[in-house]
């Protein structure tokens, strides 16, 4: 596997290749073209809305991101925490080139509410060696479906987010299928775990499995399979460069 996978994944929400990221750095540093209204806040950092359970799980996985060898040396662990922003860096480049064609108000769907704890609070940890990831998710009061429970669409949104993040181990991808089995409703305001793993890869097709459970994993809320297509997707999005 490409050793730059983790770095590439850290750019996931930018929807950028690593080369394009460096290109953007040139824009930012030398040309001052970075739109001033875009702040690169990492929304997956702990905040005061997080419940003790959420914080405990975060700390548990953070502890796995670094390992100390017998010699006392600190090394990168099997897990990596991925940052999460509220829009794509792509806008940075495109907006500089075509400022009138991009809506500067656009925000990533899962990070479109500024109020902490009100909507999606989540953090994704990646284990690229084992081609799997885990997401710690706390639902806010704005995600309601049935009274007191999370909307099935909000559950689907988290599955889409987590499985897409994982499949981006293989570069740019497009969601082709998402098949969700809702086993039990998710209480609004609760914390849950979302585990996802790459099942198999066949040519451009990446098959992923995913399940959402209670934090002790005793209760299965939803499970799903997802299919992604990797490779050049410019023809799909109407651009030549990506």
List of residues contacting its own copies (CB under 8 A): 15, 87-88, 90-91, 94, 102-103, 105-110, 112-113, 118-119, 141-154, 156-161, 164, 174-182, 184-185, 188-189, 236-237
**C-alpha closest to that of 81 among 119, 135, 117:** 135
SS3 of residue 174 by DSSP: strand
**C-alpha closest to that of 114 among 133, 136, 86, 92:** 86
**In whole angstroms, how close is the CB of 19 to its own copies at the nearest point?**
16
H/E element holding 9? helix 5-10
Could you say which DSSP state residue 187 is in? B
**In whole angstroms, how close is the CB of 132 to its own copies at the nearest point?**
20
Tokens 């806040």: give the residue.
41
Q: Label residue 79 exposed, middle or buried (CB < 10 Å: 0-12, 13-18, 19+).
A: buried
Instruction: Kindly tell me which of 18 and 182 has the beta carbon lying closer to its own copies.
Output: 182
Angle between helix 90-97 and 18-26 (nearest 10): 50
**In whole angstroms, how close is the CB of 20 to its own copies at the nearest point?**
11
Q: How far apart are CA 221 and CA 212, in angstroms?
A: 5
**In whole angstroms, how close is the CB of 159 to its own copies at the nearest point?**
8
Instruction: Kindly tell me which of 5 and 188 has the beta carbon lying closer to its own copies.
Output: 188
**In whole angstroms, how close is the CB of 109 to its own copies at the nearest point?**
4
């Amino acid at each position: 596997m490409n050793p730059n996978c983790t770095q590439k994944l850290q750019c996931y929400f930018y929807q950028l290749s690593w080369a394009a990221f460096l290109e953007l750095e040139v824009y930012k540093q030398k040309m001052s073209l970075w739109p001033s209204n875009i702040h690169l806040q990492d929304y997956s950092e702990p905040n005061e809305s997080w419940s003790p359970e959420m914080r405990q799980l975060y700390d548990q996985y953070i502890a796995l991101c670094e390992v100390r060898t017998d010699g006392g040396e600190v090394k990168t662990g099997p897990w990596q925490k991925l940052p999460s922003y509220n829009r794509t860096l792509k806008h940075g480049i495109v907006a500089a080139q075509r400022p009138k064609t991009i809506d500067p108000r656009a925000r990533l769907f899962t990070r479109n509410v500024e109020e902490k704890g009100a909507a999606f609070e989540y953090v994704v940890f990646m284990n690229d060696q084992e081609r799997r990831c885990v997401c710690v998710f706390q639902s806010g009061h704005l995600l309601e479906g049935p009274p007191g429970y999370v909307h099935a669409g909000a559950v689907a949104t988290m599955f889409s987010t987590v499985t897409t993040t994982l499949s981006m181990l293989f570069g740019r991808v497009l969601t082709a299928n998402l098949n969700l089995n809702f086993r039990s409703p998710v209480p609004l305001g609760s914390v849950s775990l979302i585990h996802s793993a790459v099942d198999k890869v066949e040519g451009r097709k990446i098959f992923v499995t995913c399940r959402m459970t209670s934090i002790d994993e005793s209760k299965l809320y939803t499970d799903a399979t997802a299919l992604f297509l990797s490779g050049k997707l410019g023809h799909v999005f109407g651009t030549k460069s990506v």
